[in-house]
Amino acid sequence: MEKITGKEIALSGITAALAVIAVVLSHFVGVLTLTFLALSSVALTLPMMMESLRGSVLAYVAAAGLSFLFVGYVAVMPFVLLFGLYPILDYILWKYLKKRLFVLPIEVVFSCLAFLATFHAIGLTLGDFPIVDALPDWGKYVVIYVGVAVASVIFHFAFTLLFEVLKKRLAPVLKKK
């Protein structure tokens, strides 16, 4: 196994700091909660631009731990269960999966399961989704999960596009010795 370099550790630390800032801002700027959580996902891709999955996992663990110190459990769980794990899963799927056709369905299933885990972890109820009040309980779940699946597909394409643009711009700078 290859030794971890100082540059990899430093980049992971900077990445973790950016992710923590985004998670804390998502808590305090309620209108932009999802935007800042999505930015925390994008921040975790910086070590991946150096082909360092290990650095990204290190940054994720550090960001999750530090975020718990600054904001409450409810604010950190979406990052821990969904937005922090998403870039790691995306990188692994794109790098190691032979059939690219399966990447999007796997990520949609992951997003729905992560949303379900977050739903129960932070104590949400169906009453927290007033847009579906007129539907029966099973209908509420269907509408919510179809919405999560659609949002997951949109996030996947936006995330992939942003990652490619950032990689094109930042990878040469990050790989310099």
Nearest residue to 80 (alpha-carbon basis) of 23, 145, 156: 23
Residue 79: per-residue pLDDT: 93
Q: Which two tokens stand for residue 98?
A: 């032979």
Q: Provide the 8-state DSSP code for 71.
A: S
Mean pLDDT throughout 124-144?
82
pTM of the full structure = 0.88
Average pLDDT over residues 74-83: 91
Residue predicted with more confidence, 113 or 173 = 113
d(CA 154, CA 105): 13
Q: Contact 31/74 with Cβ under 8 angstroms?
A: no
Q: Residue 99: pLDDT band by 50, 70, 90 thresholds?
A: confident
Answer whether residue 110 shows pLDDT above 90: yes
Domain ranges of the chain: 6-175
Estimate to the nearest angstrom the gap between the alpha carbon of 134 and the chain centroid. 32
- How sure is the predictor about 49, in pLDDT bands with cuts at 50, 70 and 90? confident
Per-residue confidence (pLDDT) for residue 1, from 0 to 100: 62
Give the mean pLDDT of 81-93. Answer: 92
pLDDT tens profile 2-43: 787 888 889 999 999 999 999 999 999 888 888 999 999 999
The answer to whether the beta carbons of residues 22 and 43 sit under 8 Å apart is yes
57 contact partners, CB below 8 Å, separation of at least 6: 88
Q: Which CATH class for the 6-175 domain?
A: mainly alpha
Instruction: State the pLDDT at residue 177.
Output: 60
Residue 131 CB contacts under 8 Å (≥ 6 apart), including other chains: 143
